[in-house]
């Protein structure tokens, strides 16, 4: 593990700043470059899912606790938004939901604390069980707390009063800010002791505790931050759609989509989930639009998932990076480096 070395490097590297700057500018300029509603619509969903992927990565990637229940918080966020804005009197110029969003995120994070404390007392497999069960509990509650959620009849939000010609943009930029927030946290994690603590939990939790890492605090906090962002994404999604039902707000496929994006791009990296989302979301939407109806959707999805996990368990980014690193090491003649572990994931592939 080379993490100690990375931790000692300056917080902002020049290349990191440049990369981030280009990315932010690109996100802002994109809608102006492609002024079509259907592209904006797709960009909105892609960025929204990227934000969720990056946030899942905080707990599922860095800490190695695979949450299967993020969709529960997505749904909670969606329903919170629906409950607040079901009538128009709170929604005047259309921007209020975006200001309420941080509160929803905070609420989800607070809700996650006791759940995390219970579910993370044990190891990753029980955590997975609890989180997937949590998803079904949340869905059942969505159906049964009728006065709050409208039950199976669904819940409507008042419609966003934005002008037709820019209708998607407020949603898009809300999703962009969520993504940048999530990436900022992920970047912070890779650059500080906190990141080392999380990675050490993933590598060997008992040992980490043994050397003085406050494992419980660290992992519960990571979980809370992670689902907080997911809850906010749910809120934006509900506002954009205008009407939600329990089976769609608490959908296991949402979890699966963000997990898959993370695995495809690369776990425990800042950019991996973004890459994964940028590939999968447009691919999925366009495939359904153009070749949908051939019924292979679910099978294709599952097959890709299996292939990625078996052949590319570390994802695209770490694989490419370690290849490059190997090549550069070989050029330096430092052959001894080859058998050592590539740094990015802190995991061990050889």
Partner 1 sequence: MHTLIQGVILGVLTGGVYALMASGQTLIFGVMKVVNLAQGAFVIASAYLAFTLFTQFGIDPLVAVLITTPLMFGIGVVGHWLFLRPLRREDATELSILITFALALLVEGILSITYHTTYRSINTSYANKAFDIGGFSVSAVRLYGFIVSCALLVLLYVILQKTRFGRAIRATVQNPQSATLLGVDSNRVKAYGFGLGIATAAASGSIYGLLFPFNSGSHYDLISRLLSVVVLGGLGSIGGAVLAGVIIGVVSSVAAVTWSPTWSEMTFFVVLLLVLLIRPQGMFGRVERGAL
Partner 2 sequence: MNNNRLSKRWFKRAPLVAVVGAALVVLSACSASTPKATPTASTKALVIGISLSLTGDFADPGTAVKKGYELWADTVNAKGGVLGRQVVLKIVDDLSSPTQVVTNYQNLITRDKVDLVFGPFSSLLTVPASQVADRYKYAFIESAGGGPKVFAQKLGNLFFIQPGPIVKQGDVFADYILALPAAQRPKTAAYPSLDDPFAQPIAANIQARFEAAGIKTVYSGTYPAETPDLTPIMTKAIASKPDVIVSGTQSLDAYQQVKALIQLHYNPKWLYMSNGANSPVEFPSKVGAANTEGVFSSGDWFPSSTATGSADFIKAYIAKYGGDATGIDNSSVEAYAAGQVLELVAAKTGKVDNATIISTLHSGTWATLLGNLSWDAIGEPQGSYLLVQWQKGKLVPVYPAAIAQSAPEAPKPNWAG
Smaller CB distance to partner 2: residue 153 or 334?
Answer: 153
Smaller CB distance to partner 1: residue 23 or 305?
Answer: 305
Smaller CB distance to partner 2: residue 53 or 190?
Answer: 53
Q: How far is the CB of 292 from partner 2 (least distance, A)?
A: 2
Does 132 contact partner 1 by CB under 8 A? yes
Q: How far is the CB of 103 from partner 1 (least distance, A)?
A: 26
- What is the per-residue burial (b if ≥16 Cβ within 10 Å, else e) of 158-197? bebeeeeeebbbbbbbbbbbbbbbbbebbbebbbeebbbb
Q: Which stretch binds partner 1 (CB under 8 A): 11-19, 99-107, 123-131, 283-291?
A: 123-131
CA-CA distance, 250 to 271, in Å (whole number)? 26
Q: How far is the CB of 330 from partner 1 (least distance, A)?
A: 24
Interaction partner, residue 45 (partner 1, partner 2, none; CB < 5-8 Å by kind): partner 2
Q: Cα 109 to chain center, whole Å? A: 14
Does 320 contact partner 1 by CB under 8 A? no
The mark string for 226-265 relative to partner 1 (x by CB under 8 A, - otherwise) is --------------------------x---x--x---x--
Smaller CB distance to partner 1: residue 183 or 258?
Answer: 258
Q: What is the contact surface with partner 2 in residues (CB under 8 A)?
A: 36-38, 41-42, 45, 140, 143-144, 151-154, 156, 159, 164, 167, 237, 240-245, 247-248, 251, 253, 285, 288-300, 303, 306-307, 310-311, 338-339, 350
Three-state secondary structure string covering the chain: CCHHHHHHCCCCCHHHHHHHHHHHHHHHHHHHHCCCHHHHHHHHHHHHHHHHHHHHHHHHHHCCCCCCCHHHHHHHHHHHHHHHCCCHHHCCCCCHHHHHHHHHHHHHHHHHHHHHHHHCCCCHHHHHHHHHHHHHHHHHHHHHCHHHHCHHHCEECCCCCCCHHHCCHHHHHHHHHHHHHHHHHHHHHHHCHHHHHHHHHHHHHHHHHHCCCCHHHHHHHHHHHHHHHHHHHHHHHHHHHCEECHHHHCCHHHHHHHHHHHHHHCCCCCCHHHHHHHHHHHHHHHHHHHHCCCCCHHHHHHHHHHHHHHHCCCCHHHHHHHHHHHHHHHHCCCHHHCCCCCCCCCCCCC
The mark string for 156-195 relative to partner 1 (x by CB under 8 A, - otherwise) is ----------------------------------------
Phi then psi for 158, rounded to 5 degrees?
A: -70, 150
| Antiparallel, parallel or unpaired: β 155-156 and 243-244 | antiparallel
Q: Which stretch binds partner 1 (CB under 8 A): 30-38, 115-123, 188-196, 282-290?
A: 115-123
Q: How far is the CB of 286 from partner 2 (least distance, A)?
A: 9
Q: How far is the CB of 21 from partner 1 (least distance, A)?
A: 34
Smaller CB distance to partner 1: residue 164 or 298?
Answer: 298
Does 123 contact partner 1 by CB under 8 A? yes
Interaction partner, residue 256 (partner 1, partner 2, none; CB < 5-8 Å by kind): partner 1
Interaction partner, residue 259 (partner 2, partner 1, none; CB < 5-8 Å by kind): partner 1
Does 276 contact partner 1 by CB under 8 A? no
Binding site for partner 1 (CB under 8 A): 64, 66, 68, 118-119, 121-126, 128-130, 132-133, 136-137, 140-141, 143-144, 205-206, 252, 256, 259, 263, 295-303, 305-306, 309-310, 313, 347-348
């Amino acid at each position: 593990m080379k993490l100690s070395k990375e931790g000692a490097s300056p917080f902002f590297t020049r290349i990191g700043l440049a990369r981030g700057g280009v990315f932010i500018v690109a996100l802002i300029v994109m809608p102006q470059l492609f002024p079509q509603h259907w592209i904006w619509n797709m960009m909105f969903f892609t960025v929204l899912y990227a934000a969720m992927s990056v946030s899942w990565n905080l707990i599922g990637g860095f800490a190695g606790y695979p949450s299967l229940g993020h969709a529960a918080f997505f749904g909670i966020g969606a329903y919170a938004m629906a409950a607040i804005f079901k009538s128009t009197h709170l929604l005047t110029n259309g921007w209020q939901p975006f200001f309420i969003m941080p509160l929803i995120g905070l609420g989800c994070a607070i809700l996650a604390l006791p759940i995390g404390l219970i579910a993370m007392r044990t190891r990753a497999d029980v955590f997975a069980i609890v989180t997937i069960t949590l998803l079904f509990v949340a869905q059942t509650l969505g159906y049964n707390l009728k006065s709050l959620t409208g039950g199976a009849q669904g819940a409507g939000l008042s419609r966003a009063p934005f002008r037709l010609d820019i209708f998607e943009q407020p949603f898009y930029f809300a999703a962009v800010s969520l993504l940048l927030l999530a990436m900022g946290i992920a970047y912070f994690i890779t650059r500080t002791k906190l990141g080392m603590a999380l990675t050490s939990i993933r590598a060997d939790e008992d040992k980490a505790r043994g050397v003085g890492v406050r494992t419980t605090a660290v992992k519960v906090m990571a979980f809370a931050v992670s689902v907080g962002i997911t809850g906010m994404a749910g809120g934006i999604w509900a506002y954009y759609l205008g009407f939600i039902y329990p089976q769609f707000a608490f959908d296991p496929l949402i979890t699966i989509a963000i997990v898959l994006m993370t695995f495809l791009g690369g776990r425990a990296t800042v950019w991996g989930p973004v890459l994964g989302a940028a590939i999968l979301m447009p691919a999925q939407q366009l495939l359904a639009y153009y070749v949908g109806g051939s019924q292979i959707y679910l099978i294709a999805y599952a097959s890709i998932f299996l292939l990625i996990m078996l052949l590319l368990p570390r994802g695209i980014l770490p694989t490419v990076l370690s290849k490059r690193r190997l090549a550069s090491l070989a050029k330096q003649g430092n052959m001894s480096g080859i058998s050592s572990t590539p740094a990015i994931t802190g995991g061990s592939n050889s």
